[in-house]
Amino acid sequence: MSLTFCLIVSLTSNLIMSSSICFIVSLASNLILSSSFCFMVTSSLMCFILFMIYVWFDMADSITAAEELPSPRLIKSHLPPDLLPSEIWTVKPKLLYVYRNPKDVAISYCHHYRLFNEYTGSQDLFIEAFLQDKVMFSPFWKHVLAYWNRRDLPQLKFITFDDMKKDLRSVLKSVAEHLNVTIPADREDEVLDHLSFARMSKNPMVNFEAERKEMGKLDQHFIRKGETGQWKKTLSEELVKRFDSWSNSFLAGSDFPYYS
């Protein structure tokens, strides 16, 4: 059975410091859209459903754009499962869900707010809003767990940013298998190089450099470091305890294994 389209989902803050979503979007783009395995993404290959809930630059109607994409289509979304079209669960396209540790998410999301939302407050103040689920596209854990609890559906693949950083080759193979695509053995290293942080940060199709310059944000970048565990360097002991208490209140009774 051929792949008609692939939906990539994450809470927006999970995508921030966006090497995570750049990795998986570029990976999926190449696997399902390039039969010749030409791995350099040089044009926009996907449509973003509900990229923002407000007008941001001169953005086209994403629904119409998605409808007009040739098959196989690659679509990104921040929507929770209950807000996705019902056909998602009957037609059963391939789904990829990307999770990232909320401690790192909050730090990266704060930078994102400063870049795109004109936020001028402190990081601690932003994290306070994050912990109260008062930032855009909240609530965090309800979004994550809604997909985690559907992880046994054969069309859904749950992916973590930490796994991509630890062993991108294994994630590459796992996603390829999920999409029913075979990667030529002699091209794996080329794909991994293309998906590296160094490559993604310089790729104009994913790094938002043109938009950043248009906004006059010359001292900020959409793709910043692409690292895990940044929270260990910047969060106070008190904030770490608050994150743990907040997270554990949602994870009580859950078998979710990736929070630390």
In-domain check, residue 258: no
| Range(s) of the domain holding residue 162 | 5-251
Give the span between the Cα atoms of 14 and 104, in whole angstroms. Answer: 9
Residue 20: predicted pLDDT: 40
More confident: 142 or 176: 142
- HEC string of 56-76? CCCCCCHHHHHHHCCCCEEEE
In-domain check, residue 256: no
In-domain check, residue 257: no
More confident: 102 or 224: 102
Q: Would you say 259 and 101 are in contact if contact means Cβ atoms under 8 Å apart? A: yes
In-domain check, residue 106: yes
- Structure-token match 């807000």, residue found: 83
In-domain check, residue 58: yes
Q: What is the pLDDT of residues 156-166, one digit of tens each?
A: 999 998 998 89
Cis peptide, bond prior to residue 93, ω within 30 of zero = no
Residue 187: predicted pLDDT: 82
Give the span between the Cα atoms of 116 and 134, in whole angstroms. Answer: 17
- Structure-token match 């932003």, residue found: 126
In-domain check, residue 260: no
The CATH number covering residue 155 comes to: 3.40.50.300
- Structure-token match 């938002």, residue found: 208
Q: Taking the CA atoms of 84, 89, 94 and 95 in sequence, report the sign of the dihedral they define.
A: positive
The question of whether 194 is a catalytic residue gets the answer: no
Helix 102-116 to helix 140-148 angle, to the nearest 10 degrees? 120
DSSP per-residue letters across 156-202: EEEEEHHHHHH-HHHHHHHHHHHTT-PPPGGGHHHHHHHTSHHHHHH
User: How much is the pTM?
Assistant: 0.76
pLDDT for 153 beyond 90: yes
In-domain check, residue 259: no
Q: Which member of 78, 111, 143, 194 is catalytic?
A: 78
Q: Would you say 10 and 21 are in contact if contact means Cβ atoms under 8 Å apart? A: yes
Residue 54 confidence class, pLDDT cut points 50, 70, 90: very low
How many domains is the chain built from? Answer: 1
Long-range contacts at 53-62 (CB < 8 A, ≥ 24 apart): 53/136, 56/116, 57/211, 57/214
In-domain check, residue 95: yes
